[in-house]
């Protein structure tokens, strides 16, 4: 089992930090240029007796100062940079790090709807693992993620195949005080999917974890087809090791393969091993 992956944290735009850093650097440079120019002594020419006296020189206060010009240029550049960075910060879209479809929005650009994804996977019967429906490949499971169950009335799931009947070693899906007590450490998890819609082949994914904590039996695995079209699938846990006596578990299933990070999960079902 791979290490559970958390949802990517929300990143804060670094624009204001850049704004302050660039502005401070330019203002500091301008001040340093002016101080150096003012402290640099003007060369005094040696008097020569054979030359006529020098022409009258205007006072420094009446001459345009090079340091002042440099200072004005630096200040002007600073203001331009500050305004440009402020515009970038104000117009930059915030990065929410949201998982596609997590809050009822339409799939992001490049991501297939669940119905289209299921059809695309079914169409690639020879190498379906090459079809990811635009999602990055999953790197693990997070049993504490919200993972809300798919609502058949949600437009995101229009025309999609969803899990409708779930059982653990024959015990119907239940949660809370009604969770079943199983007399085996090797239960079989079974799911049926909506009939009459979607493609002619369904590949499924099961997840199982501890009821409220990680366990050494946490698992994300492809289901075994119990019918030619995959409308009924099972996960045989004896293939992965025995569960623990007295431990409570929860599990769920969806009608997409494990290499597609799409939604469409069933509700969490629970059981306790006697």
Tens digits of residue pLDDT in 217-248: 899 999 999 999 899 999 999 999 999 999 99
pLDDT at 125 over 80: no
Please choose, from the candidates 233, 248, 240, 198, the residue with its C-alpha nearest in 3D space to the C-alpha of residue 217: 240
Please choose, from the candidates 96, 36, 90, the residue with its C-alpha nearest in 3D space to the C-alpha of residue 66: 36
Indicate the angle between helix axes 15-39 and 66-91, nearest 10 degrees. 180
- Tell me the percentage of the chain whose pLDDT exceeds 90: 42
Query: What are the boundaries of each domain within the chain?
Result: 13-42+63-94, 115-273
Please choose, from the candidates 261, 173, 191, 246, the residue with its C-alpha nearest in 3D space to the C-alpha of residue 215: 246
Class in CATH terms, 115-273: mainly beta
Residue for token pair 């850093």: 21
pLDDT band at 127; cut points 50, 70, 90 = confident
pLDDT at 13 over 50: no
State the Cα–Cα distance between residues 230 and 81, nearest whole angstrom: 61
Q: What is the pLDDT of residue 136?
A: 86
* 9-13, 74-78, 182-186, range with the lowest pLDDT: 9-13
Mean pLDDT across 2-8: 37
Mean pLDDT across 151-173: 94
Is pTM beyond 0.85? Reply is: no
Q: Are 205 and 220 in contact (CB under 8 A)?
A: yes
* 32-36, 187-191, 208-212, 263-267, range with the lowest pLDDT: 32-36
């Amino acid at each position: 089992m791979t290490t559970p992956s958390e949802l990517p944290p929300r990143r804060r735009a670094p624009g204001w930090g850049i704004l302050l850093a660039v502005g401070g650097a330019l203002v500091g440079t301008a001040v340093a240029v002016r101080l150096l120019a003012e402290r640099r002594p003007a060369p005094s020419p040696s008097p020569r007796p054979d030359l006529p006296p020098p022409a009258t020189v205007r006072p420094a206060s009446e001459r345009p100062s090079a340091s002042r010009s440099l200072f004005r240029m630096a200040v002007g550049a600073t203001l331009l940079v500050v305004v440009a960075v402020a515009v970038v910060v104000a117009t930059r879209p915030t990065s929410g790090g949201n998982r596609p479809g997590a809050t009822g929005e339409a799939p992001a650009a490049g991501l297939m709807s669940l119905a289209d994804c299921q059809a695309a996977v079914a169409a690639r019967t020879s190498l379906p693992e090459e079809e990811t429906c635009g999602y990055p490949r999953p790197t693990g499971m997070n049993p504490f993620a919200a993972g809300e169950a798919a609502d058949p009335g949600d437009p995101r799931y229009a025309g999609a195949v969803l899990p409708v009947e779930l059982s653990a070693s024959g015990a119907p899906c239940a949660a809370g005080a009604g969770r079943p007590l199983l007399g085996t450490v090797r239960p079989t998890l079974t799911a049926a999917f909506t009939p009459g819609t979607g493609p002619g082949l369904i590949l499924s994914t099961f997840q199982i974890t501890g009821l409220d904590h990680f366990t050494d039996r946490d698992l994300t695995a492809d289901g075994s087809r119990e019918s030619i079209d995959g409308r009924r699938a099972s996960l045989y846990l004896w293939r992965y090791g025995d569960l623990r006596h007295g431990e409570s578990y929860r599990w769920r299933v969806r009608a997409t393969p494990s290499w597609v990070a799409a939604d469409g999960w069933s509700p969490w079902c629970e059981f306790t091993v006697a």
